[in-house]
Chains A and B, each alone.
Chain A
Amino acid sequence: AQSVAQPEDQVNVAEGNPLTVKCTYSVSGNPYLFWYVQYPNRGLQFLLKYITGDNLVKGSYGFEAEFNKSQTSFHLKKPSALVSDSALYFCAVRDLSGNTGKLIFGQGTTLQVKP
């Protein structure tokens, strides 16, 4: 079965420091991976995706993610965190078992950036 794991419920970083939000996946076949961010009482906003090509993917708001096939990981990173980055982050993988393209989500990681 395909799945996504986000091992950390919460990540705390100081403003200006680099941040990493971890994601590992399990799929049969080539993965299509996504990161979304959810601000309080808002829907999910698309940050970035990996389909194929370069392992380092750049996305919105200065975020990037590194696809690592051997470690089956797709960690989200940012060189310098902002207080405004505080939000709930979801990693997702596209379900390849059918034709729907539905996403399978991790449980989410709360990022807290402190001034």
Chain B
Amino acid sequence: GAGVSQSPSNKVTEKGKDVELRCDPISGHTALYWYRQRLGQGLEFLIYFQGNSAPDKSGLPSDRFSAERTGESVSTLTIQRTQQEDSAVYLCASSLTAKETQYFGPGTRLLVL
């Protein structure tokens, strides 16, 4: 079946602009995660959604970052007033439940000039 998809695959923006990243999870997966991968580093957890429960936002690095998910479908990660330090690959993952294996999308490569 279809895997996790993300769009856009690449995004170049100017410092100070807002960007919106999209994630389509695997159908039926109730859990959805956003991670950030900076160049040459491992992945950092950003936010977690489980069904209609309140999300776990503990990994968001600043209040410029926010995310939404409607039910068990698409999620969007928004970064306001982007900074050069936000340049990274943003990866989305989904799993049947929080206890199951996470499957990752191809990521969105964000470059802030």
**Chain A contact residues, CB within 8 Å of chain B:** 34, 36, 41-46, 49, 90, 92, 95, 98-108
Contact = CB atoms under 8 A, between A and B. Distances in A.
Interface residues of B, number: 28
23 contacts: A41-B106, A41-B109, A42-B107, A43-B104, A44-B43, A46-B103, A46-B104, A92-B43, A95-B45, A98-B56, A99-B50, A100-B33, A100-B45, A101-B48, A101-B95, A101-B97, A102-B33, A102-B45, A102-B56, A103-B33, A103-B35, A103-B43, A105-B42
A90 B91 CA distance: 14
Interface of B: 4, 6, 31, 33, 35, 41-43, 45, 48, 50, 56, 59, 91, 93, 95, 97-107, 109
A106 B43 CA distance: 8
Contacts of B42: 90, 105-108
A44 B56 contact: no
4 nearest A-B residue pairs (beta carbon): A101-B98, A105-B42, A44-B104, A43-B104
Nearest to B9: A41
Contacts of B103: 46
Contact of B56 (A34, A45, A90, A100): A100
A44 B59 contact: no
B101 A34 contact: yes
Contact of B107 (A43, A95, A100): A43
A48 to B, nearest CB: 10
